[in-house]
């Protein structure tokens, strides 16, 4: 087995600092602005998606590997499962009291 150590992981530190910056930007939007509620929610959601993509590439190494199709299929499946979980939870919380 080869040792693929390249020294100090500057890309991980940069990804971590960028994630912190995005988190603090969301906190600032939530607590320190007088924007309309919908604008704040959409802005925080956009920052969350950007941070998720950043973490997939910086920490989960989705841009590495021999088979790019497998990574795309895995990401699509993860989004499908997340959508089903969130949509199902909203559905049960909204209409579960009728039963």
pLDDT tens-digit map of 11-64: 888 889 999 999 999 999 999 999 999 999 999 999 999 998 888 878 776 666
Q: CA-based angle 86:88:90, to the nearest 5?
A: 70
pLDDT tens-digit map of 62-91: 666 666 677 778 888 988 999 999 999 998
Contact 50, 23 (CB under 8 A): no
Give the start-to-end residue ranges of the domains of the chain.
9-64, 66-99
Cα within 13 Å of Cα(14), Cβ side? 7
pLDDT of 73: 83
d(CA 4, CA 1): 9
pLDDT of 1: 44
């Amino acid at each position: 087995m080869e040792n693929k150590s390249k020294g100090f992981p500057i890309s991980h530190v940069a990804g971590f600092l960028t994630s912190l910056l995005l988190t603090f930007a969301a906190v600032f939007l939530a607590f320190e602005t007088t924007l309309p509620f919908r604008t704040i929610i959409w802005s925080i959601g956009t920052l969350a998606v950007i941070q998720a993509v950043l973490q997939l590439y910086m920490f989960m190494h989705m841009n590495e590997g021999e088979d790019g199709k497998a990574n795309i299929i895995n990401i699509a499946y993860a989004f499908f499962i997340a959508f089903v979980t969130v949509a199902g939870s909203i559905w049960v919380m909204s209409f579960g009291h009728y039963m």
